[in-house]
Amino acid sequence: MEKEENKNNYSDKSYWDSRFSASSSSDFDWYADWNQLKSHFSFLTKSDKILIVGCGNSKLSIQMYEDNYKDILNIDISSVVIKQMSEKYPHLKFEEMDATDMSYISGTFDCVIDKGTLDAVMCSGQSMPAVNLIREMHRVTKLNKNFCIVTYGAPDTRLDYFKKILEEDCEIKYEKISLSFMANFINSMRNSTNNHSIKDGLTNPNLFMNSFYDAFVNTYKNEENMSEEEKKIRKKQELSLRLQMVLAKFKGDKNKMKKELGKNPIDFNSITNKNTENKNSIRKHFCYLYIFKKIKN
């Protein structure tokens, strides 16, 4: 991950081309994935024409496609990531395009989704990219259909902003969404280093394990609000956490690891009842999903 001083580049094509060129080929989702979000998308039908803006290397469209949403178009300003994703997922549609200035005809899509792009362009220090993104998402959405934004921005900072840009053209509602395990892990790692660099965190075994533990607690501490799918994922993460602890403790000694793994499992309740919230943290453990219903062109 890049250091914070690079944040003013987040709306530049060259920044993202360079970043995706240097990154691994693995997919990654900030905020939350489709398994966490889909219960809030009850208005979607399997035949809807969907646009995902600023797709990056997110797994969102892959997960939606596997969930039988087949008519999905992904766009991103970076030609590098569009090429990477097109080659990796040839059955999906990817197109290089600036989401703040789209060439699509007005009212083309049944649903337009942004996850993180608004936050990125708002870090540019310029006001118009974010305004143009919101207006373009509204423009290409069909009348009486929805466009959606996933952002760190809480309602007390975002609602008036959205209403000022969109005036009376949309009905707006929002939901608070817990961050995914990986997003919590990355955020915890960055918050624990002096320069918010995940690279520095990965070189420190103690910091790595503390961040892994912190992410586990903050992702799964409210089991009563979890879907069955999230509970299955939690069990996998619980096993992974246990394995990581054993590996860290015995540093590859197979006999000692086998003996340790034969003991009772982690006391999950004692873990999730602990509060790891850092009031001074620059990172949060949740995001917001804003759903805009277009009622005027």
**Residue boundaries of the structural domains of the chain:** 4-179+285-294, 181-272
Q: Vertex 189, ends 119 and 225: CA angle to 5°?
A: 70
Average pLDDT over residues 153-178: 93
16-30, 104-118, 168-182: which is most confident: 104-118
Q: Is residue 69 predicted with pLDDT exceeding 60? A: yes
What confidence score (pLDDT) does residue 31 get? Answer: 87
Confirm or reject CATH 1.10.540.10 for domain 4-179+285-294, answering yes or no.
no
109-113, 184-188, 202-206, 219-223: which is most confident: 109-113
